[in-house]
Chains A and B, each alone.
Chain A
Amino acid sequence: MDLMKGCEEITLDIERGRYNSLSVKELVEIKMHLLICKPCADYKKDSDLIEQLLQEKYKQGAAKYSFSAEEKEALKNACKH
């Protein structure tokens, strides 16, 4: 019988928990696991950092792309029937 969740499941729950609410049971499981498992505790720290980095990176907004004038003419030609 599996009394304890494995590291994979715990770290997956950590990610899910950033955007969805977890049950109290799940939160306790994570807390307990992190107390005894250094790799997962490290994962949590690193994941927090990457989360911050990603948010920082994309704060600047979406890049805009456009077709050149020639490309637009080519597009119009392609659309003609």
Chain B
Amino acid sequence: MSTTNNIDHTELVEDHSDYLLSFAMSKLSDIELAKDLVQDTLVSALMKLDTFEHRSKLRTWLTSILNRKIIDHWRKAETRYTDPVSSFFDQDDDKRHWFIEKQGGMHSKSIVDKISDNETLAELQDCIDGLPEKWQGIISSKYLQEKESEQICNDFAITPSNLWVIIHRSKLLLRDCLKSKWI
């Protein structure tokens, strides 16, 4: 018997559940879903506690289980509709230059002054909420947690070129969305 088996469910919940929930919410926007995934994580962690080796901290191990569950969730969600990346690319040639038709930037003299304005940031949040769920997670990993690109690719099971495409597409969508609010 290793010492890990002394960890009981009360301790696990008290010490780690809030941390795991915050972690899940940095990648998801649905609090109920996040709570469910945390519960799944704790239950499956307890079931395979004997496979936990002290090579990593308990919290790191729990986080990796949760992360896997989040990725599984996205995989399932993505098969329901088309892949968000390929639905923009790889289609008919007309779409290849779709953004050129969206002539004109959103710049006006006053916009730069708006930057730290709370209202602008709330509008930005609105626009971010309109992005696909997985993209929101990627944006928050990138800007909030300031993770390295390589780490983000691992966490979200995507390739580096996917990452740039997603950032690029997110910006185009945010731009359209902000423009519609500001004009």
A residues near B (Cβ < 8 Å) are 6-8, 11-12, 15-16, 19-20, 38-39, 41-43, 45-47, 49-58, 61-67, 71-72, 75-76, 78-81
B96 touches which one: A6, A41, A43, A58 (CB < 8 A)?
A6
Minimum Cβ distance to chain B for residue A34 (Å): 12
User: In the complex, which residue of chain A has the Cβ closest to the Cβ of B139?
Assistant: A54
Minimum Cβ distance to chain A for residue B133 (Å): 16
Question: What are the residues of chain A within 8 A of B140 when measuring CB–CB?
Answer: 58
Whether a CB of chain A sits under 8 angstroms from the CB of B53 is no
Q: A12-B165, A46-B105 are in contact. List 18 more A-B contacts (CB 8 A).
A: A6-B96, A19-B149, A42-B103, A45-B105, A49-B106, A49-B115, A53-B120, A56-B116, A56-B121, A57-B121, A62-B26, A65-B34, A67-B21, A72-B13, A72-B17, A79-B13, A79-B42, A81-B46
Whether a CB of chain A sits under 8 angstroms from the CB of B31 is yes
Bound Cα distance A42, B104 (Å): 6
Question: What are the residues of chain B within 8 A of A46 when measuring CB–CB?
Answer: 105-107, 171, 175
Bound Cα distance A33, B148 (Å): 29
Assuming the contacts A67-B17, A79-B12, asked whether A54 and B46 have C-beta atoms less than 8 A apart, the reply is no
B residues near A (Cβ < 8 Å) are 9-10, 12-14, 17-18, 21-22, 25-26, 31, 34-35, 38-39, 42-43, 46, 96-97, 99-100, 102-107, 111-112, 115-116, 120-121, 124-125, 139-140, 143-145, 149, 164-165, 167-168, 171-172, 174-175, 178
- Do B22 and A53 touch across chains, with their CB atoms under 8 A apart? no
User: In the complex, which residue of chain B has the Cβ closest to the Cβ of A74?
Assistant: B39
**Count of inter-chain pairs, beta carbons less than 8 A:** 120
Assuming the contacts A64-B22, A65-B21, asked whether A79 and B9 have C-beta atoms less than 8 A apart, the reply is yes
- Do B25 and A15 touch across chains, with their CB atoms under 8 A apart? no
- Do B13 and A57 touch across chains, with their CB atoms under 8 A apart? no
Question: What are the residues of chain B within 8 A of A76 when measuring CB–CB?
Answer: 9-10, 13
Minimum Cβ distance to chain B for residue A26 (Å): 13
10 closest A-B pairs by beta carbon, nearest first, are A42-B105, A79-B9, A66-B18, A58-B144, A58-B143, A65-B21, A15-B168, A54-B143, A39-B100, A16-B164
